[in-house]
Amino acid sequence: MASSETQQSANGTPYLLPATAAQGLANYPHARVVPGSPRVVYVSGTSSRRGDGTYAGCVTDPASGNHTLDVRAQTAAVLQNIGTIIRGATGGAVGLEAVVDATVFLTDIAGDYAGMNEEWNKVWPDKTAAPARTCVQVAALPSPKLNVEIKCMALWPQ
């Protein structure tokens, strides 16, 4: 669960990844755990950013500075990062299997929807066990090195 220094507030208990992991760019936790039965874990929008500031699925041409983005690699990294957050917030009790709802943000839905779905379907190959999902196109994400971000909600049975 969240570190012992973290206390529950009116909106639940925040969970923050260790300082070696990618940190939020503003003041928000990686997740917030709301008490109840079951507990609900709200995961903030998560990208493929790594703890060292680089992005999975992004290759930058040193000459031009242009970025080549791979939605499959980014989606796989996003889902892995979300799994890490959920396992951390729940003390390892649950992971991606506990996700009940997700919102996927893509910067190019026409070009990237199929590739994102390929990676999504590797995590949830059974439609009946997959979370509910909404996918939308956005004008931009917080970095031009990103083409996918996912936020979700998971249940933590007691």
Residue 89 pLDDT exceeds 50: yes
Residue 146 pLDDT exceeds 90: yes
Q: What is the pLDDT of residue 11?
A: 86
Residue 142 pLDDT exceeds 60: yes
Q: What is the pLDDT of residue 8?
A: 67
43, with CB counted inside 10 A (0-12, 13-18, 19+), is buried
Mean predicted confidence (pLDDT) in 15-32: 84
Q: How far is CA 45 from CA 4, 70, 80, in A?
A: 24, 19, 13
Q: Report the alpha-carbon distance of residue 47 to residue 7 in Å, rounded.
A: 26
Tell me the percentage of the chain whose pLDDT exceeds 70. 95
| Position 131, amino acid | P
Residue 37 pLDDT exceeds 80: yes
Q: How far is CA 105 from CA 11, 45, 62, in A?
A: 25, 9, 27
Residue 4 pLDDT exceeds 90: no
Residue 2 pLDDT exceeds 50: no
Q: What is the pLDDT of residue 22?
A: 83
Q: Report the alpha-carbon distance of residue 36 to residue 144 in Å, rounded.
A: 38
Q: Pick the residue with more confidence: 11 or 143? A: 143
Residue 1 pLDDT exceeds 50: no
> Is residue 104 a contact partner of residue 121, using CB atoms and an 8 Å limit?
no
